[in-house]
Amino acid sequence: MYSVNPATGERLAVYDAHSRAEVNARLEAAAVAFSVWSRETVESRAAILVRAAALMRDRRDELARMATLEMGKTIVSAEGEVEKCAWTCEQFAADAPALLAPEPVKTEAHASHVRHDPLGVLLAIMPWNFPYWQAFRAAVPALIAGNVVALKHASNVTGCALEMERLWRDAGLPAGAFTVVLVPGAEASELVAHPAVAAVTLTGSEPAGMSVAEASGRALKKVVLELGGSDPFLVLADADVALAARHAALARTVNNGQSCIAAKRFIVVESVAYEFEQEFARALGELRVGDPLERDTDVGPLARADLVDELDRQVNASVKAGARLVMGGKPLERPGWFYPPTLLTRVTPGMPAFDEETFGPLACVTRAIDTRHAVELANQSRYGLGASVWTADVQAALELAKSLDVGSVFVNATVRSDPRLPFGGVRRSGHGRELGAWGLREFVNAKTIWVG
Look at residue 10 and tell me if it is in a domain.
Answer: yes
Q: What is the mean pLDDT of residues 391-405?
A: 97
In the prediction, which pLDDT does 299 show?
98
Q: How far apart are CA 244 and CA 240, in angstroms?
A: 6
pLDDT at 392: 98
Which of 411, 427, 445 represents a domain boundary (last residue)? 411
Q: Is residue 450 domain-resident? A: no
CATH no. for residue 159? 3.40.605.10
What pLDDT sits at residue 282? 98
Under the banding of pLDDT at 50, 70 and 90, the label for residue 169 is very high
Residue 127 inside a domain? The answer is: yes
- pLDDT over threshold 90, residue 445: yes
Q: Are residues 298 and 323 in the same domain?
A: yes
Assess whether 64 and 202 both reside in one domain: yes
Pairwise CA distance, residues 328 & 326, whole Å? 7
> How far, in Å, CA of 67 to CA of 64, rounded?
5
pTM for the predicted model, two decimal places:
0.97
Q: Which residues are catalytic?
A: 226, 260
Cα–Cα distance between 60 and 54 in angstroms, integer?
A: 10
**19: exposed, middle or buried (C-beta count within 10 Å: 0-12, 13-18, 19+)?**
exposed
Whether 140 has a pLDDT exceeding 90, the answer reads yes
CA distance 280 to 287: 11
> What are 3-43's pLDDT values in tens digits?
999 999 999 999 999 999 999 999 999 999 999 999 999 99
Which residues, 6+ apart, have CB-to-CB distance to 361 below 8 Å?
252, 253, 256, 257, 299, 328, 339, 340, 341, 342
238 and 220, same domain (yes or no)? no
Q: What would the mean pLDDT of 371-385 be, rounded to a whole number?
A: 98
According to DSSP, residue 19 is labeled P
Who contacts 372 (Cβ-Cβ below 8 Å, separation ≥6)? none
> For residue 22, what are the domain limits?
2-226
Q: How far does CA 346 lie from the centroid of its chain?
A: 29
Residue 116's pLDDT band (cuts 50, 70, 90): very high
Short-list 235, 319, 238, 233, CA closest to 276: 235
Same domain, 210 and 267: no
Helices (H), ranges, 38-132: 42-58, 60-71, 75-99
Q: Is 377 left (phi over 0), alpha (psi -120 to 50) or beta?
A: alpha
Q: Is the pLDDT of residue 186 over 90?
A: no
Are residues 240 and 221 located together in one domain of the fold? no
From CA 81, how far away is CA 134, in angstroms rounded? 10
Residues 6+ apart with CB under 8 A from 327: 281, 284, 285, 340, 341, 342, 343
Query: In this structure, what CATH number is given to the domain that contains residue 329?
Result: 3.40.309.10
Q: Does 67 lie in the same domain as 140?
A: yes
| CB-count exposure of residue 195 (10 Å: 0-12, 13-18, 19+) | exposed
Burial label for 322, CB within 10 Å (0-12, 13-18, 19+), is: exposed
**Same structural domain for residues 304 and 187?**
no
Residue 175 in any domain: the answer is yes
- Collapsing DSSP to helix, strand or coil, 311 comes out as helix
What does the pLDDT read at residue 87? 98
216 and 246 co-located in one domain: no
311-353 per-position pLDDT tens digit: 999 999 999 999 999 999 999 999 999 999 999 999 999 999 9
Asked if residue 336 lies in contact with residue 6, where contact means CB atoms within 8 angstroms, the answer is: yes
Distance from C-alpha of 55 to C-alpha of 86, rounded to nearest angstrom: 8
Question: What is the C-alpha separation between 361 and 159, in angstroms, rounded?
Answer: 25
Residue 378 neighbours by CB distance under 10 Å: 26
**Number of domains the chain contains:** 2
Residues 288 and 337 in one domain: yes
The angle subtended at Cα 111 by Cα 93 and Cα 107, nearest 5°, is 105
DSSP state of 17: P
Residues 6+ apart with CB under 8 A from 121: 27, 30, 31, 34, 147, 148, 149, 150, 196, 197, 198, 199
Kindly state the percentage of the chain with pLDDT values over 90: 99
Asked if residue 257 and residue 206 are part of one domain, the reply reads no
Question: Same domain, yes or no, for 49 and 8?
Answer: yes
Boundary residue ending a domain (226, 255, 271): 226
Average pLDDT of 271-277? Answer: 98
Averaged confidence pLDDT in the chain: 98
Q: Report whether 151 contacts 135 (CB < 8 A).
A: yes
| DSSP characters over 329-354 | -S--SSSS-----EEEES--TTSHHH
Is 55 part of a structural domain of the chain?
Answer: yes
Alpha-carbon gap, residue 392 to 385, rounded angstroms: 24
Query: What pLDDT is recorded for position 42?
Result: 98
Give 33-88 pLDDT, tens digit per residue.
999 999 999 999 999 999 999 999 999 999 999 999 999 999 999 999 999 999 99
Q: Is residue 440 part of a domain?
A: no
- Answer whether residue 159 is part of any domain: yes
Q: Are 229 and 383 in contact (CB under 8 A)?
A: yes
As a whole number of Å, the CA-based R_g of the chain is: 22
Domain boundary among 375, 393, 411: 411
In a shared domain, residues 272 and 326? yes
Residue 89 lies in a domain: yes
pLDDT at 138: 98
Q: In this structure, are strands 111-118 and 444-451 parallel, antiparallel, or unpaired?
A: antiparallel
> Average pLDDT, stretch 374-378?
98
